[in-house]
A and B are shown apart, each in its own frame.
Chain A
Amino acid sequence: MTINNLQLDTNGKLRHFLTIEGLKKQHLTEILDLAESFASVSGQSVKKVPLLRGKTIINLFFETSTRTRTTFELAANRLSADVQSINIATSATSKGESLLDMLHNLEAMHCDLFVVRHADSGAANFIAKHVAPHVSVINAGDGRHAHPTQAMLDMFTIRRHKGEFHNLKVAIVGDILHSRVARSQIHALNTLGVGELRVIGPKTLIPRTFSKMGVHIFHDMQLGLEDVDVVIMLRLQKERMQGALLPSEGEYFQRYGLTEEKLAAAKPDAIVMHPGPINRGVEIASSVADGPHSVILEQVSNGLAVRMAVMSMVLGRHPGADSSGEDHRL
C-alpha cells in the first residue's frame, strides 16, 4: 500500500505525518516517548531547544483554526525553527491560483516543512505526493479524513493517566461521521492495542460501516459508557441541525450530552477528554467540562509536546541523533 510508503522513508522512519493508518505501534510509541521528553522542556524556565535551528516551517491553513495553528507555531519556536503561518482563506488560492502553483512557489523559498490544514479529505496526502523530495508535510487536519497530531496528543494524555492501553475501555461520543479526530483516534487506539473501543451517537452520525474500523457501535449513551476508563467527547458543529441529521441541540444534549449523571456509568476514575473548542450545554455540561474527571486543558498543553515530537521526527532531528540521520532520509 502506498499509503504506508508515502509517509515513511526507506528506513521506515517518518518522512511525512499524514495519517495514523498504516503506522506501526513502534512509530506511535516513539512519538509518545519523544513527546514525553519534550514535555519536560516546556516546564523549564528556558523553553527553547536548538534542534531545528535553521529549518523553515510554513503553516498552511486553508481552514481557520486558532488553537491548532498556535500550538504548531509555538512548537516550531521552541525547537528554534523559523516559522511562518499563512491563512489561505485570505490568500492567493482565493485569487484563482492553484494549490500546486502555490506550493511550488513556497518550495522555491527553501522551506523544509509544510504543516497543512485543509477542508478536503486527502489534501495533505495530495500535497505530500507533489512536494519536492526534501520537503516534509504534517497533516493538521484534512476534511473528515485525519487529524493525526490531535489523536497523538490524546494518546499521550491517556497514557499519562492510564498507562498501558491493552486493558482500557475507551468510548468516543458524538459526530463520528464528520470527525477527522475520531478517525485518527480510532486508528491510534487500535494500533496501540486498546482493550475495547466504542463509538456512541445517533445512527445519522455513525454509519454502520464504522464497525469495519474495529469499533463497537452504541446508540444508547448509558450502555455505551458502562465501565469505560476514558470518555472522548467530540464537538458538535451547528451545521448538523441543517442537514436533517439532528432535530435540535437540546435534544442532542438530552441523549448524548455528557452530564455527571451519565458519567456515573463509567469507571469511578474515568477521564473525560474533548479536542475543543467545547460547546457547553450541547455535547458536555459545564460541571463535567470543569469537573474532577476532565483533562481537557491538559490536552491543550500536551499538544505542544506532541507537535514538537512529530516536527523533529519528520525533519530527522531526534534529540541525540547526529546529522547523518538527515542524509539517508533524502
Chain B
Amino acid sequence: MSIIIRGGRIIDPANHLDAISDLYIRDGRIAAIGEAPTGFTADSEIDANGKWVLPGLVDLQARLREPGQKHKGTIASETAAAAASGITTLCCPPDTSPVIDNPAVAAQIAHRAEASGKARVLPIGALTQGLEGEHLASMQALHTAGCQVMGNAHRPITSTLVQRRALEYAATLGLTVFINAEDPWLVADGCIHDGQVSTRLGLAGIPECAEIIALSRDLILIEQTGVRAHFGQLSSARAIALIADAKARGLNVTADVSAHQLYLTDLDIGDFNSLCHVRPPLRSQRDRDGLRQALAEGVINAVCSDHQPHDRDAKLAPFAATEPGISALETLLPLTLRLVEEGVMDLYNAISRITCEPAQILGIEAGRLTPGISADICIVEPDHHWEISEETLISNGKNTPFLGWEMKGRVSHTLLEGKQVYPF
C-alpha cells in the first residue's frame, strides 16, 4: 500500500523542515519527502494543497476510562476522538480499574487499542502496587509488556522513603518516571485554587504550595537517585521556576502542561461552573501567563490534553461533589495553534510541543517525519474556523469548558502507520 500526500506545507520541527512538498508512504512507513523514491507507484493520493502536513500528535496524558469506567468512555470511543484530532500516540495513566500494575492489564489495553486501530496507546505502568504507595510494582515486567514509562498517576506516594526507593528502582532499570506533584496533606478536601475565587465561593482551596512542596521534595530525590523524571500537568508559575532551576543544575527532568491551563484561570469558574473543575486546579492569571512563557522558552517541553471524559452526571452536582477533568483530546491541537495566533510562540515551536518533544520524553520514534519510521501523520486545514459543540465532539465525554469557543485549524486526515484512521 503506497500513498502520496501531494502539495502540502510539510512542517516537521524535529527535522527542521518547513516546505511545500510531497510526502511518500510505503508499507506503513515514510518513504521519502520531495523526490519520489525509485520505483514508487501510488495506490492512492491525498491532495494537501493549502494544508499543513504534520507529524501525528503525541499526547502524554489521556484517560480512556477502560478498563473500569466504560460508562464514561472506551478505548474504541476515545481513540476515535484522538484520530479525529490528529493524535496518533497517547499515554494512558495507570489509574484504571484494575490498575496497570501488572503485565496482564497493560497487555489487555494494548490489545484493545490494536483492535480498534485508531491510535497507538502507550499504557503508563504503576510505580507502586495498586498505586497505594507501599510496595513497588513489577516495573521490569510492565516494561516488557509495553509500558514505556512509570508513574503513580494522581495518587501521590506519601512516604518519602517509598518514593525514594521507587525512583531508585526505576533508575536501575533506566525507566523514566512520570510525576504529578501534589502534596496530599495540603490538598486535603480542596477542589479549586486557593485564592480570591475560593474565598468568595466558600470552596476549600488547593494552595499553590501543595505543588511546590511536592515538586521540591521530588527534585531532591531525583538528584539523589539520578532517575529521569517528567512532571506532568504543572499548574503554577513558581513550579516552573523550580523546573528551570533543576534543568540549569543539570537534572534530567522535563515537564508538560495541559492545554486548558494555558487559557483558563480560577476566574473562569464564575458561579460554580463544574466544567472548570480540574486537578490540579486552574490557578491565577499570573500562573497562566507564567506557564505560557515557560512553554515558549522551552522550560515546559510539551503540551498534553489531560483528557478526562465524563458521563453527564459526573458534572451535575454542587461543585465540590462533581468529578474533576475535561474532555480534551479534540481541543489539544486547536488550543496549541491558538497560542501562535495570540503571539505566545511561533508555529514551529508550537508544533514541536505536541509532536517531537513529547516523543522524546517517551523515548519513542514518533512525532517526526523522518523517512523510514512509521507514517503517523496529521493533515490540517489551517484556516478552517469551527465551533466546539457537543455535536462536534466525538469523545463520549462532552465535558469541556470550551463549548462555544471558535477554533481555527481543523484536522482533515489522520494516518496511523500509513493507514487512514480519519476520516473514519
Contacts and interface: CB of A to CB of B under 8 A. Distances in A.
Interface stretch (B125-133, B209-217, B310-318, B337-345): B310-318
Interface in B309-348: 313, 316-321
A81 to B, nearest CB: 26
Interface string B169-208: 0000000000000000000000000111011111111000
B272 interface: yes
Given A2-B270, A3-B271, A98-B313, A145 B201 contact: yes
Interface residues of A, number: 28
Contact of B199 (A99, A143, A210): A210
Given A213-B199, A213-B200, A121 B320 contact: yes
Contacts of A109: none
A183 interface: yes
Task: Indicate the member of B202, B313, B320 with the most A CB atoms within 10 Å.
Answer: B202
B271 A121 contact: no
Contact of A122 (B194, B203, B316): B203
A1 B200 CA distance: 14
Contacts of A328: none
11 contacts: A2-B270, A98-B317, A120-B320, A121-B320, A122-B271, A122-B272, A145-B203, A180-B202, A209-B196, A209-B198, A212-B196
Contacts of A118: 318
Contact of B202 (A1, A100, A144): A144
Contacts of B319: 120-122, 126
Contacts of A99: 317-318
Interface residues of B, number: 21
Nearest to B316: A100
Given A126-B272, A143-B320, A207-B194, A121 B199 contact: no
Nearest to B205: A207
B318 A142 contact: yes
B275 to A, nearest CB: 13
Contact of B321 (A120, A130, A183): A120
B33 to A, nearest CB: 51
Interface string B297-315: 0000000000000000100
A53 B204 CA distance: 41
Given A122-B320, A183-B202, 10 more contacts: A2-B271, A98-B316, A99-B317, A99-B318, A120-B318, A121-B202, A122-B203, A125-B318, A126-B318, A209-B194
B202 A146 contact: yes
B398 to A, nearest CB: 17
Interface in A105-150: 118, 120-123, 125-126, 130, 142-146
Given A3-B270, A118-B318, A144 B203 contact: yes
A126 B317 contact: yes
B199 A125 contact: no
A111 to B, nearest CB: 21
A177 to B, nearest CB: 9
Given A120-B319, A143-B320, A212-B196, A125 B271 contact: yes
Nearest to B318: A120
Nearest to A176: B199
A212 B316 CA distance: 30
Interface string A153-193: 00000000000000000000000000010010000000000
